[in-house]
Structure 1
Amino acid sequence: MNDDLKRAVLNLRHGDTVLASAIEHAAIAHSGMVRDDGGDYIDHPLRVCMIVAEEFGIVESESLILAILHDALESDYAFDAPDLNEVFYRGAAEELQVLTIKIGTTREERDGFYIRRIREGTLRVKLVKLADRLDNLRSLKTNPSPEKKKRYTIETVKNYFPLAESVFPLALQLMKKEIDSMSF
């Protein structure tokens, strides 16, 4: 875990023990996981949290916690829904379920179901997903696979541009900027 990044996240809400607990839970959930770029996986949710706070201007505790935990249910770490709601905030378990990709019969079916759930989710879910997508676009710049870049860009334009346009146009501008600066 990048200690500077962790410190920056904790400084968003100095003294917030629930935010610190979210970081600890996410670190356990993503322990040993590595991103395509070789970095520790835990740095991704911390960056998503920083995007929500610094670029989207949202520093409400629940949004930051959701950003930190947004991928945690996809790991093998066992979370209990009532515990999530008790430890973090009421509705945390339900919002995390919306952000969790379920295994489907085909990638297309799975992705279609997932984006429908996101569109029907809370505003907080939508904003965290847009921040997640933005961080993934930024990380994709260092990926050597032009096919992966192209596929991810097409999915972003098709599924996430309309979402961003309807709920948070700044996210749309930021995603467009990242795609425009990407080389295939």
Structure 2
Amino acid sequence: MPNKLRRANATVAAQAYAPKPNGSAVTYGLVGAALLLVATFLAGAFFKTDITSNPLALLALTVLAFVAGVVLRMWRQMEHARATGREYAKRTPVAVPAATIDVPTDCAPQWATFAFPFVLPGLDRPHPPGTFEISIRKEPLDVSWAAFIETRTILLTGNGTVEGLDVRADDLEHALQLDKAASGGPVAV
């Protein structure tokens, strides 16, 4: 939303509960003084007293009413400005955090080459020889330094389609050692 439109919408929304004062501070002061004088004359007429007998007190009350009108206008202006600021802040777009699709992991692909067909525990069929991508998923531990725990080992097979098979890391390592022993290579213990 463009800045000017956002400001205009905020001003309109703020008008609902903190209307912008119409007129100047002098106008508010004069209205306050006039209302006080009218109230004083009405009170004098009602109580049948002579209000003009003490003109200094009447002048002091009139000045006080004028100042009160000016202060009221300033307060209403500040209240309107605060309300506009609050409404503007509500309409300011906030960058939302990026949505994570999965738990943050430290996953680096590795490759394993089998020279002979192999079978892993938990898999339903023997797999042909070849090079396979192995993805070891590590999830962060809830500590103050970078520490991860291995959660899954996935063997990606590709016979026209890519299939991810969950295997145990020690079973996979044992199958690789058996494959090396069968092909005559050195076996790591």
TM > 0.5 between the two? no
More strand by share: 2
**Larger Rg computed on CA atoms:** 2
TM-score w.r.t. the length of structure 1 is 0.20
More helix by share: 1
TM-score w.r.t. the length of structure 2 is 0.19
